[in-house]
Chains A and B, each alone.
Chain A
Amino acid sequence: MFTAAKRLAQTVHAAAAVLLLISVAINFANIIGRYFLSAPIEWAEEMMLFLMVGCVFFGNCVVGWDGRQIRMDVFVQMLPPAVRVALDYLSECAIIAVSLLLAVLAWPVIEQLYEFDQRSQAADFPLVYPQAMLPLGFLIIAILVLARVIGRLSRAIEIETGH
């Protein structure tokens, strides 16, 4: 399970990087079009924003997998190790719960966007795809953090029982 989760994390990390690179390429092509060919790409800004949304939400899954989100942990570091571990678990459970809740809350919106085939103004791109990046990202981060929690727990049990 841990290996599968690690592969999933690597895949979404690579996806985030690819989306970033595509965004750079569109931006550059748009600049060339605008300033040298007098033909800007009308859909460039919209698509770059959609790609950024994907990059952020996919990237956040890897950050969550590594447990490297920006936090203020100075006070936590002063606490006894057992309390620190308990707070770590609490934090991870909160990530899983909130992520799943947000994924569920997003579902009706995604369904509606799909049903009515709502599209972006300039790119005429189906809005369901960029909007779906949010619940998808939340779902993946919930799975990855859950896998990490289970991994940590089973390691702790192994140490405890000596197996």
Chain B
Amino acid sequence: MSANFAFFVLPVILLLIGLPIYLILLVSALLAAVFVVGVPMTTIQTYMFASLDNFPLLAIPFFLLAGEIMGQGGIARRLIVWVISITGSMRGSLAVTTVASSELFGAMSHTAVGTVAAVGRLVLPALRESGYGDRFSVSLIASSGAIAVVIPPSISMILYGMSAQQSAIALFTAGILPSVLIGAVDAAYVLGYSRLHTVAAAEKARWSKIWASTREASWALGTPVVIFGGIYGGIFTPTEAAGIAVVYSFVVTMFIYRDIGWAELWRITLSAAYLISQILIIVTAAGIYSWMLTTSGIPAHIVAFIEGLQMPAWATLLAINLGLLLIGSFLEPPAAIMILTPLLLPIAQAFGVDPIHFGIIMAVNLSIGMYAPPFGLNLFASQAIFDVPLGMIYRGVIPFVLINFATLMVITYVPAISMILLR
């Protein structure tokens, strides 16, 4: 059996026939262990265990649990209502609010689909009332929700950091300006759209309303302070910050807002354990797949082959971006990062790209894949949640895919946007 068959052809066939992704990686790794690399089969258990036995990974279950408590309790709702209340009467402000709410909630929930559901349910009725059509509104929500993949502290960056052996905090810091840039570009686009389509201006913001929503959301607003202040203030590690976020959101939701009871908390914990398993089982399987891949020497051969093509660095990066965009529309970011980082990072490094910068490029690119037609997961989630035809969303997201791809190009070719805060 050839290495190419075990590592690439077979996984693609199994992917197309709908096998679970973790199983595909395991089958491929097992066959490679026997026929390509020739390692003793007993090492499989040890390496699988080692894939999870990684301290930075601990932040993922805690962030996911905190996100579930915030989303299913009342913290997310209060934060979004607060953002809506502070936006002025400017034409297009409601659409900008959708972008801002997604950035804020995405930073805490860490799941793109969760952000689409939480933000979308609250803002879609208001967007419709203001005269935005369903095509624009649902597409805006679907594309804005994908920011959760990029905005720190993101799970994609934790996984990339683990796979590329880079600091998660450095990746979080590098991800700040690109996230702001994506938000700003999206906001500029939706403002332009609103003016062009003469959408009605929103109700004028009143101090009394702002004060009331701020008071109502004051404890909820403490959540980002705890997460970001803890990590960037150098007080907590990401894992500790994630753990504190769980305890904080639990106390605020249960004892201050009293939105949920013990039974509901148990249901949320069950739901979080489910979500954690769905994601981390892929990490476990991808760990052993990556180990086999690296041991086989394939990444080094690919680097040598691409260097032999003597393409300029910009063309190689463009090819990587286009390939990632295609793969990202099929695969969820955690799987794509765990599978592709060992393959693509050596290529990027051979062309002088900093590993931290490359992590940001991957995260931004895969976030676009979340809503890129025809298979982006946010598209299907939006269709299911908001009950609108998929074809309508396909047409609506095209402008968002194009402008965000343009932003990705800027982030790719201007490394300073990612790296300046690290200096």
Count residues on chain B whose CB falls below 8 Å from chain A CBs.
56
B4 on the A face (CB < 8 A): no
Complex interface: chain B residues within 8 A of A139 (CB): none
Please, how many angstroms separate the alpha-carbon atoms of A23 and B54 in the complex?
15
Contact partner of A76 among B17, B52, B246, B270, CB < 8 A? B17
User: Known interface pairs A27-B240, A69-B23, A94-B27. Does A63 touch B277 (Cβ–Cβ under 8 Å)?
Assistant: yes
Complex interface: chain B residues within 8 A of A21 (CB): 269
B48 on the A face (CB < 8 A): yes
Q: Is the interface of A mostly helix, strand, loop or mixed?
A: helix
Within 8 A of B (CB), among A104-162: 105-106, 108-110, 130-131, 134-135
Nearest-Cβ distance from residue B143 to partner chain A, whole angstroms: 19
Q: Is the interface of B mostly helix, strand, loop or mixed?
A: helix
Contact partner of B61 among A30, A45, A52, A69, CB < 8 A? A52
Nearest-Cβ distance from residue A101 to partner chain B, whole angstroms: 7
B374 on the A face (CB < 8 A): yes
A41 on the B face (CB < 8 A): no
Which A residue's beta carbon lies closest to that of B14?
A94
- Whether the Cβ atoms of A98 and B26 lie closer than 8 Å is yes
User: Known interface pairs A59-B276, A62-B274, A63-B274. Does A24 touch B19 (Cβ–Cβ under 8 Å)?
Assistant: no
- Whether the Cβ atoms of B26 and A24 lie closer than 8 Å is no
- Whether the Cβ atoms of A52 and B58 lie closer than 8 Å is yes
Complex interface: chain B residues within 8 A of A71 (CB): 18-21
User: Known interface pairs A56-B277, A56-B281, A76-B17. Does A105 touch B61 (Cβ–Cβ under 8 Å)?
Assistant: no
Nearest-Cβ distance from residue A61 to partner chain B, whole angstroms: 8
Nearest-Cβ distance from residue B114 to partner chain A, whole angstroms: 15
Complex interface: chain A residues within 8 A of B152 (CB): none
Count residues on chain A whose CB falls below 8 Å from chain B CBs.
54
Nearest-Cβ distance from residue B263 to partner chain A, whole angstroms: 13
- Whether the Cβ atoms of A73 and B18 lie closer than 8 Å is yes
- Whether the Cβ atoms of B46 and A109 lie closer than 8 Å is yes
- Whether the Cβ atoms of A87 and B17 lie closer than 8 Å is yes
- Whether the Cβ atoms of B44 and A102 lie closer than 8 Å is yes
A17 on the B face (CB < 8 A): yes
- Whether the Cβ atoms of A75 and B18 lie closer than 8 Å is yes
- Whether the Cβ atoms of B270 and A17 lie closer than 8 Å is yes
Residue-wise interface mask of B (326-349) relative to A, using a CB-CB cutoff of 8 A (1 in contact, 0 not): 000011100100000000000000
Q: Which of B26, B331, B332, B374 has the most CB of A within 10 A?
A: B26
Residue-wise interface mask of B (43-55) relative to A, using a CB-CB cutoff of 8 A (1 in contact, 0 not): 0111011001111
B198 on the A face (CB < 8 A): no
Chosen A-B contacts, 20 in total, with CB atoms closer than 8 Å, are A13-B273, A13-B274, A20-B269, A23-B61, A24-B243, A28-B244, A49-B52, A52-B58, A52-B61, A56-B52, A56-B280, A57-B277, A58-B277, A59-B276, A69-B23, A70-B20, A87-B18, A98-B26, A101-B30, A106-B44
Report the 3 A-B pairs with minimum CB-CB distance, sorted nearest first. Answer: A59-B277, A69-B20, A27-B243
